[in-house]
A and B are shown apart, each in its own frame.
Chain A
Amino acid sequence: MKDQRRVMLPVGLGLCALGISILSADFGSKNLSARPAPGKVDVEYKSQESFTLHEPVVVTFSVRNGLSKSITLKLGAQYTQYFQFSLTTPEHQILQSSRNPGQDVSVVTIGSGTVTVEAGGKYERPLLLSQFIPLKTPGTYLLTSKLSTEIVISEDGILSPQSKTTQLHISSRDPARLEKVCEELATQAENARTVEAAEFPTLALSYIDDPIAVPFLAKILSGHTLEYDLAIPGLERIGNDDAVESLLSALNDKYGEVDMLARQALTRLQDRISNPNLKETVRRTLSQTEHKSSQ
């Protein structure tokens, strides 16, 4: 299958507005008409410089094709497989994004996992950094972003895309700010008319590893919002009492695989539950549901 994605959507993603406007950004990938520098291919990774702790950090990958020929980007599965990130923490620790080798045993890509950018065109894709590396403390980070595959120039040449290092300032947790971000992401997910439109806001919400996100994730889940299943690993990551209660409620939800996914999440996180009463409730409930499912 040789198809390559050629999406020509209007309206650019306002990079300069990626700050608070993460709340209203259109998260879809874009293959745009633009005015790239002639005779060269520009690869950029842009994000706002400052975030509050636990806020989704979105890095926008963009390629401007200033050549007179089309170019092909190999992005891999989910159009994210071949991105690599390296993060230098405030403590000077270097964290690398890495894939479990077992993930590569069976790889499904959309189409051929490639994107074609026509001559003079531009492609953009938002990347959720938390999916690759979590940012757990406030401070100043150095983020190096790279596409690890070569860019093919109309079958007669290749380019090695350059990496880019940027600075990220993560300020202290701001509950009001986080609440607003969660609310906007949840609203986008709930208003989405297609699973495609619902995916990125739900994903971004699910990676907000903060108790503030719990009621929003619970609402996404119980409301059977499109891409509702992404809320379950989000609740599992947070793992506080409220998240556990939400997952316990989901055990009675027969929509899709909600009950099964909730049971799996509770099974994995039960050792992390600090509240002894809740821990016992989870243990007993899992034991009962396991007994039921084996009957």
Chain B
Amino acid sequence: VLNNERLWITQAQQGNVEAFSQLVETYQKPVYNLCYRMLNNAGDAEDAAQETFMRAYKSMKRYDNARPFATWLLSIAAHYCIDNLRKRRMTIISMEEMPQLDLPDNGPTPEGLLGKKEEKNNIRELLDNIGVVDRAAVIMYYWYEYSYEEIAEVLSLSQSAVKSRLHRARREMAKRWIEKQPQTIQMERKQHESPAF
């Protein structure tokens, strides 16, 4: 796969659209997932992922072959989403009034569907309440299992900045979760009576 990837990258750098299409096919899921988690909307995520690949295609000649392709691609996606969210903040339109497009779930049972949907909404709400750069760091840490160094490279930050942003995001999410479900946490705490670390 890596050899194929190298070949596709080389060919794409020479302007071969088919080779770049292979890269799109390979990386569509991680790029889309990042955009979806960042923007919290399927339609916007599709647009952002498409735009990410478009920008990558146009900048292929500038791509440094020494750098992992996935990191480079996710860096483009993350920066695009961050800019998009910052611009969106400036608009007067309330996000509450905008229709939220839901992705079709693949869960087979109604209970599973309900649980998944609820969890998806919880994650969406938690991520929505932290800063955009912090959100990108959280997504890369938990969905892509990137190291601090890799996150720092993708987001053009220092490693200490990544650590501090992740720390802050975790605390904000935990506090938000307490505000959202205080009873559940109380009950669970009384049941277990031990910290879960």
Do A and B belong to a common assembly?
Answer: no
**B interface with A by C-beta (< 8 Å):** none
